[in-house]
């Protein structure tokens, strides 16, 4: 199936899926680089250094833990509106959200304690888009 570019269609087809694993955002240090980079599901080179998203079990104690919600629609990288709609819906519910876009899907990382409520909010957003489309 091809990518979806239309904003409303992306929202209507996002089908959020909660990953039961927990993840942490860390600043990669030379002593931890082999371990963290080998286990990371995402990295980004910033001016301050390399950030990575690693399994919570590998992060230092006390590092905030996040749940990953996969937006299963195969969103087009040039599509407009999906990440904004997701971030806005979660913000209105008082849920912090860190969005990550990859080639095939978009991901919302939310505080672990808010994971189930976040999925419910996104399912409601999806249902609303489906109702407007149908």
Instruction: Report the pLDDT value the prediction gives residue 134, as an integer from 0 to 100.
Output: 63
Structural domains in the chain plus CATH codes: 7-133 (3.30.2130.10)
- Which one, of 35, 62, 33, lies nearest residue 50 by Cα? 33
Instruction: Report the pLDDT value the prediction gives residue 47, as an integer from 0 to 100.
Output: 97
Mean pLDDT along residues 101-128: 97
Tell me the C-alpha distance between 108 and 67, whole Å.
8
> Taking a C-beta distance cutoff of 8 angstroms, is the pair 37, 52 a contact?
yes
Q: Is 61 helix (H, G, I), strand (E, B) or coil?
A: coil
Mean pLDDT along residues 81-85: 94
At residue 1 the predicted structure's pLDDT band, cuts being 50, 70 and 90, is low
Q: Is 119 helix (H, G, I), strand (E, B) or coil?
A: helix
Which contiguous run of DSSP H or E holds residue 21?
A: strand 17-27
Mean pLDDT along residues 100-105: 94
């Amino acid at each position: 199936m091809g990518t979806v570019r239309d904003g409303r269609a992306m929202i209507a087809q996002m089908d959020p899926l909660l990953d039961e694993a927990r993840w942490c955002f860390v600043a990669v240090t030379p002593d931890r680089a082999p371990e963290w980079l080998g286990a990371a599901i995402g990295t980004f080179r910033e001016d301050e250094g390399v950030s990575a998203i690693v399994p919570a079990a590998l992060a230092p104690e006390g590092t905030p833990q996040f749940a990953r919600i996969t937006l299963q629609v195969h969103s087009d990288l040039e599509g407009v509106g999906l990440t904004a709609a997701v971030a806005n819906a979660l913000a209105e519910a008082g849920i912090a959200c860190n969005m990550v876009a990859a080639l095939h899907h978009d991901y919302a990382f939310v505080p672990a304690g808010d994971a189930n409520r976040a999925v419910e909010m996104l399912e409601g957003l999806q249902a609303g888009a489906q109702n407007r489309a149908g």
